[in-house]
Structure 1
Amino acid sequence: MKQFMIAGVSSGVGKTSITLGIIQALTRMGYRVQPYKVGPDYIDTAYHGRIANRKSRNLDSFMIPNEDALAWSFCKWHQNVDIAVVEGVMGLFDGLGTDKDCASSADIAKKLGIPVILVVDGRATSTSAAAIVHGFSSFDPNLELVGVLINRVASENHFQLIKGSIERYTDIPVLGYLTKDTRVELPSRHLGLIPDVEMEQLDKQLLRLGEMVQKTIDFDRLLELVEKTEQELRNPFSKQNFSQLTLAYALDDAFHFYYEDNLDLLKDWGVTLVPFSPLNDQELPEADAYYFGGGFPEVFARDLAANKSFRASVLWAHQYDKPIYAECGGLMYLGQELETDEGVFEMAGVFKGRSRMTDRLKHFGYCQATSQEPSIFGPSGTSIRGHEFHHSVFETNERPIFIMKKIRDGEVVSSWEGGYQKGKTLASYLHVHFYQNQELLKHWLEEIRGY
């Protein structure tokens, strides 16, 4: 089995562009590629999947602290492919706090036995790049660093200068490079890259990116270095039967942030999944419960507000005690109003209050929620790991259900209240991965079933 991680020396070195180019090139070469992303990212995974024609998966050792469940989230999906390609997050050793082994790309690589290829930004540097690679290669001897790629080089001569210095002062081979080309730069906004569903001409950009790296990366050498013994596959989750349940979930340009493993675990347990569109459908479909994931409701606020019949069907479902669960963008939609630069727009009105966009991230990062009363996930005191990533605030007088804490290096660095439960509807800014504890999902489905 061939598998490798593309990791950066820091954020912003271009590891996403290189990863997309590599997936594109390998796919064009006839390989079956299974992509992954370290950390709680939804947008990069959508780009991966668009190229590979396989759903990309998240590998996250904070959200999935159990190592058997983490290994399952990796091994399950590359049984019938040729190559597993993992995109790292931030810098190689950056994670939660100062511990290099806490939710970092390096932590994932070591736990899952994945060789690492390091991306170095070649702008305005030459021999100093060798010092960077030397530092990364010697910092953790348990990490398998097998190669280097140089991004944003000015020319072939510039690349040869950097390559020569790295290979003179370290024993890490330099496998290729990518030049700076504005024609393949991917636009971004406040949550990172613009989602692929919103971009025209994207496939042409990705095709060009693949053609570029195919010319400048030594794929024969790269693939020689990343051959690994296949890990033993063991399902850590008990078999459940919820085949009588239908769960409808929001899926359109405004709502599409879901962990694929969550949806697959639901299907593994027999749940029938039905997509719906708050942008385009007239009303909710018939289902036992409803799931609103995150996304960009603020970008589509005017269209969401204009779909009055759908908003009315959501409020009706809540009032008639249909179970509803919403994360982040879903919370914003279930409030009364959403305020953006373009104005104030009516939303579903389940919770009293207004979501208001701000100019900076709020409560960004990993956090832990403790419920102060029984909820769909368990009794009072249930602990839930998750991730918040939003520019909005929800201004409301509704009573919060969660005490939220951000814990770093063993210390609570901030705490706040969040999440709201009314009847059988629960909504919060927290993105939850069910692989952390199957009892959370089991309790929710039993609540839907009526136990």
Structure 2
Amino acid sequence: MSTPIPRLILAGLSGGTGKTIVSLALARAFERMGMCVAPFKKGPDYIDAKWLSLAARRPCSNLDPFFHTDEALHALLKHRSEGCDLSLIEGNRGLFDGKDEQGSCSTAELARKLDCPVILTIDCTKMTRTVAAIVQGCATFEPGLNLAGVILNRTAGERHRSVLRASIEANTDVPVLGMLPKMAANPIPERHMGLLSDQEYGSDRGGQKALNILAGMAEQWLDLDGILAVAENAPEFLPEPGPLFAGAAMEKTVRIGYVDDAALWFYYPENLEALEHAGAELVRLSVLDPTPWPKLDGLYLGGGFPEVFAERIAGNREVLAGIKSMSQAGLPIYAECGGFMILCDALECDGVRHPMAGVFPATTTFCPKPQGLGYTEALSLKDNVFHREGTLIRGHEFHYSVCLDEGMQHLDFTMKMVRGMGAGKGRDGLLYQNTFAGYNHIHALAVPGWAPRFVAAAQTLKRG
């Protein structure tokens, strides 16, 4: 049975062309019109996804052909779109940019897999007729791509906009769906890993003022009716996808804590849902708040910005000591990137050494440039409570810190990096007791055994 899902992808020619700002503006503008918008982000990304969820006032899911099978992509889009008026997907990097020269796993590939029309955002700074050539080239570069419209960004004035529109209309069949002026200032500032977190956004808590400013810009400068028509003209969705998670949801028998505060908040919603589906009651925690934690059967430490809050985390000795005690007691603890940094002996920032939980005798240091960036493939070298030996785990990494070599020869690494940097020297996945930590991020739908094994380990320890 076919399903109508009004949908579109907002793409760009490269990173930094303004597609995130346009995506946020459209999500909030349509939400202000009373529409239910299902937001999605293509590729491995937490920050843009968080802002999209704020703009649409609904959780944002990530879609990526590298992580997800075609069946998982269809299931995610279908289930997250149920009851919504519009599914809005923000692309990543350039439209045809993927993990190799063929553009594998690109935004264009995702558009073809989901039979989804594309609206291209173009930075028109110091260009006029050349933009028409770019549009025409993108429209015909790959068979099967439905380039349904363009949004022209950073235009200089009415004369500039007039020449741009006339050139595109005279030389292509692609409609212009809006032209945005240059912004005096970005209402959502950036830092080393992308947009500033909404949790650190000063008096505008949650960035609501900034999002409403962007919505007003969209209402003034973009053809919202035309953009909505593009989405509504998307083909009906085939085939009918299966469920997100295998089997029936289990009774909740264990409590797994996860840190969700300004320091650590990089979690795919499906990872948390997978744990709940497998039988976990989730408890939200903080490494910044000195409030004692409740009794737990397991702990999940996601990524984030521990380097920004290193002094506060280091001063929260009771919580750090509690984490080490849980690890020594054999509770299953899974830590990704920022969580891994907190489990080490220390975190160095700007020459200052901040003591952390001390589960692993290693130090991480924050660097001015990325130390690991992109898709990863990691081979599990030994059985542990999270991964079976021989499992090839697809994930991603994006970290500015590096794990120093001192003492690393004595550490137990459980993963060989087939693709990516990991903790260094082709290794990742430190293991102590049932504590697993590394720079690799995973998505639960790409590693379906992770959540059931995590919960089963917590159940075994609780019974024992």
* Candidates 225, 239, 251, aligned match of 1:220: 225
Compare the two structures and name the one with the higher strand fraction. Answer: 1
Q: Which amino acid aligns with 2:350?
A: D
Query: Residues of 2 paired with 1:236 and 1:49: CA distance?
Result: 20
CA contact (8 A) 1:403 1:415 kept: no
State the 1:442 CA deviation. Answer: 2.1
Does residue 1:360 correspond to 2:359, yes or no?
A: no
Does residue 1:416 correspond to 2:426, yes or no?
A: yes
State the 1:190 CA deviation. Answer: 1.4
CA contact (8 A) 1:405 1:415 kept: no
5 Å matches for 1:57-68?
Answer: 57-64=61-68, 66-68=69-71
State the 1:401 CA deviation. Answer: 1.6
- Where does residue 17 of structure 1 map in the other structure? 21
5 Å matches for 1:46-445?
Answer: 46-64=50-68, 66-100=69-103, 102-200=104-202, 201=204, 202-227=207-232, 228=234, 229-231=236-238, 232-235=240-243, 237-240=245-248, 241=250, 243-341=252-350, 343-395=352-404, 396-397=407-408, 398-406=411-419, 416-445=426-455
Q: Which amino acid aligns with 1:217?
A: L
Q: Which amino acid aligns with 1:238?
A: A
Query: Residues of 1 paired with 2:228 and 2:417: CA distance?
Result: 44
Query: Residues of 2 paired with 1:307 and 1:284: CA distance?
Result: 12
Q: Which amino acid aligns with 1:164?
A: A
Query: Residues of 2 paired with 1:443 and 1:90: CA distance?
Result: 34
Query: Residues of 2 paired with 1:389 and 1:73: CA distance?
Result: 24
Query: Residues of 1 paired with 2:331 and 2:293: CA distance?
Result: 11
Does residue 1:34 correspond to 2:43, yes or no?
A: no
Structure 1: segments with no counterpart, 5+ residues: 408-413
Query: Residues of 2 paired with 1:415 and 1:182: CA distance?
Result: 45
Q: Which amino acid aligns with 1:119?
A: T
Q: Which amino acid aligns with 2:265?
A: H
Cα-Cα RMSD: 1.6
- 3-state secondary structure, aligned to 1:91: coil
Structure 2: segments with no counterpart, 5+ residues: none
CA contact (8 A) 2:259 2:287 kept: yes
Decide which moves more: 237-246 or 45-54: 237-246
> Per the alignment, do residues 331 and 437 of structure 1 end up closer, same or farther by CA in structure 2, a change over 3 Å counting?
closer
State the 1:30 CA deviation. Answer: 1.3
Q: Which amino acid aligns with 2:10?
A: I
Residues 225-283 of structure 1 show CA distances to partners (whole Å, capped at 9, x for unaligned) of 22232442421532152521221101100000001111122223332111000110433
Query: Residues of 2 paired with 1:295 and 1:444: CA distance?
Result: 21
CA contact (8 A) 1:18 1:178 kept: no
Query: Residues of 2 paired with 1:237 and 1:260: CA distance?
Result: 13
TM-score by length of 1: 0.95
Query: Residues of 2 paired with 1:284 and 1:193: CA distance?
Result: 30
State the 1:185 CA deviation. Answer: 4.1
- 3-state secondary structure, aligned to 1:58: strand
Decide which moves more: 215-224 or 290-299: 215-224
Query: Residues of 2 paired with 1:362 and 1:199: CA distance?
Result: 26
Query: Residues of 2 paired with 1:246 and 1:165: CA distance?
Result: 61
% identity of equivalent residues:
37
Query: Residues of 1 paired with 2:371 and 2:328: CA distance?
Result: 30
- 3-state secondary structure, aligned to 1:360: coil
